[in-house]
Structure 1
Amino acid sequence: MPSVMGLLEERERAARQRVEALQVELREAEAAWERFVIARETVGLVLTEARGGDEVPPVVVAGERPVRAAAAVSGSVVPAWREGLDVGVLAPDHRRLVDALAGGSGSGGEAMDCRQLAVALGLEAVPAKVEGVRSKAKRLVARGWPAEERPGTFSMVVGPGRRPVGYRGGDAGAGMPAGPPVPGGRDLVVVTLSEIRALLGEPGFNWSDPAPWSEMEREFGIEFPADFREIANAYGSIEINRQLYLKHPAGHLLHSLGEMIRRDLELWREEDMTEFLPGPAGTGPGELMPVATATTGEAVFLRVPDDPSSPWRVVVQEFDSPAWTLHEMTFGEWLLAYLRGEDVTVCSRNFAPDRPFYEPLP
């Protein structure tokens, strides 16, 4: 007969596991709630902008036609840069950031990273503040104001010919380039998973039953890319660096990939959300399938190839702005770059300065 102490310890262990599972679920729910709040506010701003704002005097540049723009307020949508447009059209936070870059690098000086920018803006160089600066800087880059010379490093560009990178400025219905076919196969998947394991640590899930994948692939009418399956099978549903959520389709998991894809497809197919993506959300050729989310407000998609010979590509949308970035990478390559601290729209540098880590989701 089990002892009283043994029974109490068993109950205590079960209660602790339940608390840990609820804490993870709460963090994910809070992140989802924040994304919805940001999306609602951004849509409201876009609609407000479409109705027109207060006019400011036209900006005059020598030898050019005057450009008339609406006055900016804090939180307004970043206007696309064009010749003759003055920095005064930007919201105060964005204007301060541009001024800091202009003062710090001028027309030909050194660029500034997000930590340096935070300090220049009078902010503490703590992860939350630095990440906020990074998000604003990326939004400005997407609209053509500063340039991102290398991942996470920004500077002002002087002269004509600047174009937003990875942004269609409302031309959401236009197609995206599919990219050239790339060599791959099983060997590339094994190498990528080995590199991910070396950075992230040994996986503890190691799933081998193909049934959940087969069921989900029948439902969505696609075959998931091999590298994505291998990574999910190795690690299961996890939270990386307390920032990035990856999920597995196993039915016993509370945090299931299939459930997330269904929910997010419903969200991104809503009329008010379609303008935030470079193409339709879905699982058909050329469409964008949501596969991961981040607590910092980004949504990660896989672009379904137009034909079997074309590669899968990663698209990341920033929830707090109508901006997206196409990464000419497979999912494994994108995740590996993220784990190395590279800025692939989602950036781990301020969340895991020493080395990446992960926690299993229940």
Structure 2
Amino acid sequence: MVSLPEELQAREAAARQRVEELQAEAEELAIQLEKAREDLSRLEITRETVAQVLAELSAVEAKPDVPAEDVPEPNETSAPHGSGVMMVPRWRDDLVVAVLPDVYRDIVEVIADAPGPLQAKQIVPRIGLPTTTAKIEGTRGKLKRLVERGWLDEDAPGQFTLARRDPGRDRANSR
């Protein structure tokens, strides 16, 4: 018959071995996850680059007399057929929020309805997403893109408002 202390020691040793095995698996999974993230990042960059090149080529084909370096950035809300890419156009006077992809439109509408600046973590639940870190970071990326394209302003880090449309704002030396 095995004594209780011996049985506990045997179970502890088995549990310790299982923990070590799981730790090794977790480390291997972490390596695989990092590789998968790198692959995803490369594919996203490639897709965006291809969409931009195709849009520029179609613009050049539409206006053959214009040199390629003089072609303005594309303003379409989607890339050429088949790529599935939705693009956020640069803001200009003749555009309305309806040209934005759905989630970007929702973000702009939430900010427009807010009494003051909002943070990504305040916007996420208002557009119907769970308040997980991944959703907040994804929304923050979309907010930054909207700032880059002139739809929003970021007056203080992480504080987003509708872009002010001051006369002459886009002109050099206006500030």
TM-score computed with the length of structure 1 as normaliser? 0.33
Gaps of 5+ in 1: 54-68, 164-362
Change (3 A) 1:43 1:159: same
The answer as to whether partners of 1:114 and 1:134 remain within 8 angstroms in 2 is: yes
CA offsets 1:267-293 (integer angstroms, 9 cap, x no match): xxxxxxxxxxxxxxxxxxxxxxxxxxx
Q: Residue 78 in 1 paired to residue 118 in 2?
A: no
Cα RMSD of the aligned pairs, angstroms, is 3.1
Partner of 2:53, secondary structure, is helix
The answer as to whether partners of 1:78 and 1:91 remain within 8 angstroms in 2 is: yes
Larger radius of gyration: 2
Partner of 1:79, secondary structure, is coil
> Which residue of structure 2 aligns with residue 20 of structure 1?
26
The answer as to whether partners of 1:118 and 1:129 remain within 8 angstroms in 2 is: yes
Percent of matched pairs sharing the same residue: 24
User: Structure 2 CA distance, aligned partners of 1:116 and 1:87?
Assistant: 20
Which of 39, 45, 65 is matched with 2:45 structurally? 39
Partner of 1:85, secondary structure, is coil
User: Structure 2 CA distance, aligned partners of 1:88 and 1:134?
Assistant: 21
Q: Which has the higher strand share?
A: 1
> Which residue of structure 1 aligns with residue 65 of structure 2?
none
| Equivalent position amino acid for 1:150 in 2 | A
The answer as to whether partners of 2:75 and 2:89 remain within 8 angstroms in 1 is: no
Change (3 A) 1:139 1:42: same
Residue 110 of structure 1 and its aligned partner are, at CA, apart by 0.6
Partner of 1:34, secondary structure, is helix
The answer as to whether partners of 1:118 and 1:124 remain within 8 angstroms in 2 is: yes
| Equivalent position amino acid for 2:150 in 1 | G
Residue 25 of structure 1 and its aligned partner are, at CA, apart by 0.5
User: Structure 1 CA distance, aligned partners of 2:58 and 2:143?
Assistant: 25
The answer as to whether partners of 1:144 and 1:162 remain within 8 angstroms in 2 is: no
The answer as to whether partners of 1:72 and 1:88 remain within 8 angstroms in 2 is: no
Partner of 1:112, secondary structure, is coil
User: Structure 2 CA distance, aligned partners of 1:119 and 1:11?
Assistant: 43
> Which residue of structure 2 aligns with residue 94 of structure 1?
104
User: Structure 1 CA distance, aligned partners of 2:99 and 2:33?
Assistant: 36
User: Structure 2 CA distance, aligned partners of 1:89 and 1:52?
Assistant: 20
The answer as to whether partners of 1:46 and 1:77 remain within 8 angstroms in 2 is: no
Residue 12 of structure 1 and its aligned partner are, at CA, apart by 6.0
> Which residue of structure 1 aligns with residue 150 of structure 2?
144
Change (3 A) 1:9 1:98: closer
Q: Which has the higher helix share?
A: 2
Residue 15 of structure 1 and its aligned partner are, at CA, apart by 4.1
Residue 112 of structure 1 and its aligned partner are, at CA, apart by 1.1
Gaps of 5+ in 2: 1-9, 60-73, 79-83
TM-score computed with the length of structure 2 as normaliser? 0.64
1:1-362 equivalences in 2 (<5 Å): 15-52=21-58, 70-73=75-78, 75-104=85-114, 109-160=115-166, 161=169
Partner of 2:150, secondary structure, is coil
Change (3 A) 1:12 1:90: closer
CA offsets 1:42-81 (integer angstroms, 9 cap, x no match): 123212322448xxxxxxxxxxxxxxx8552474232222
User: Structure 1 CA distance, aligned partners of 2:98 and 2:88?
Assistant: 11
Corresponding residue pairs, total? 139
The answer as to whether partners of 1:75 and 1:91 remain within 8 angstroms in 2 is: no
